[in-house]
Amino acid sequence: MKAEIPVMTTAIIGTGVIGSVIARQLASGGETLRLSSADNESARTLAAKIGRAAVAVDNRDALQGADAVILALRFTVLKGVIDELADQLAGTLVVVPSNPVTADAQGNVSRVLPKGQSSGKVVAGWLPSGARLAMAFGTLPADLFESASNRSPEPAVLFYATDDDHAGEEVERLIRTAGFEPVKAGGLAQSGRLEVDGDLHGLVVGLAEARSLIDGA
């Protein structure tokens, strides 16, 4: 008799540009999704497109029965949503793809944290104790994320950073489900390497090159 593969459920809060692409790739890898967004219209539209594997709910409902949550939010709204969900996050994998940047009306992008300050460490400080944080899924622009997933014959790498071994195992499963090969860049102190302007950002590489980039740093 074939062993049954358990269905895993991920909440994705934020169904904008990157949240939508992550949702589609996870759903095509077999993940069940609970989606939410600010006014819920984009979450409902996305859930309808994905079909049976996804439902649109509100932020707090998204966590119900979820094995993990991906906060696909702009860095500037992240803390507010974490505060809203704080009592639900203990014991949960929290995945953050956010780059700590903002853009002005002219589209000029600037970092919202002081130079050298690790965004991963800042987000970890906002989380309640017991939440397991991995910075991941924010290293590739959405179009590249979509085109590089399920690459054959050699899968493309997605880098992540965490201080927590259990979070590492969990985020590796999600990265594989989305069609990539996971590679740990380091602890949260190294999350700057994953960001816009970081040396590992925007790279579509295989495992050997990814490892040499990590080892060579």
Ligand X SMILES: NC(=O)c1ccc[n+]([C@@H]2O[C@H](COP(=O)([O-])OP(=O)(O)OC[C@H]3O[C@@H](n4cnc5c(N)ncnc54)[C@H](OP(=O)(O)O)[C@@H]3O)[C@@H](O)[C@H]2O)c1
Helix 119-126 crosses helix 75-89 at what angle (to 10 degrees)? 40
Contact 148, 140 (CB under 8 A): yes
Is the Cβ of residue 44 or residue 132 nearer to ligand X in the bound state?
44
Reply yes or no: is the peptide bond before residue 182 cis, omega within 30 of 0.
no
Is the Cβ of residue 9 or residue 37 nearer to ligand X in the bound state?
37
Is the Cβ of residue 80 or residue 165 nearer to ligand X in the bound state?
80
Is the Cβ of residue 10 or residue 99 nearer to ligand X in the bound state?
99
**Closest to 186 in 3D by CA, of 198, 178, 195, 194:** 194
Give the span between the Cα atoms of 38 and 127, in whole angstroms: 20
Q: How far is the CB of 134 from ligand X (least distance, A)?
A: 14
Q: How far is the CB of 195 from ligand X (least distance, A)?
A: 8
Is the Cβ of residue 38 or residue 53 nearer to ligand X in the bound state?
38
| DSSP codes joined into one string, 75-115 | HHHHHHHHHHHHHHHTTSEEEE---SEEE-TT--EEESS-T
Cβ neighbours around 151 below 10 Å, total: 15
Q: How far is the CB of 71 from ligand X (least distance, A)?
A: 8
Q: What residues line the site for ligand X (CB under 6 A)?
A: 13-19, 36-39, 42, 59, 72-75, 77, 81, 97-99, 101, 138, 141-142
Q: How far is the CB of 98 from ligand X (least distance, A)?
A: 3
Residue nearest to ligand X (CB): 16
Q: How far is the CB of 5 from ligand X (least distance, A)?
A: 29
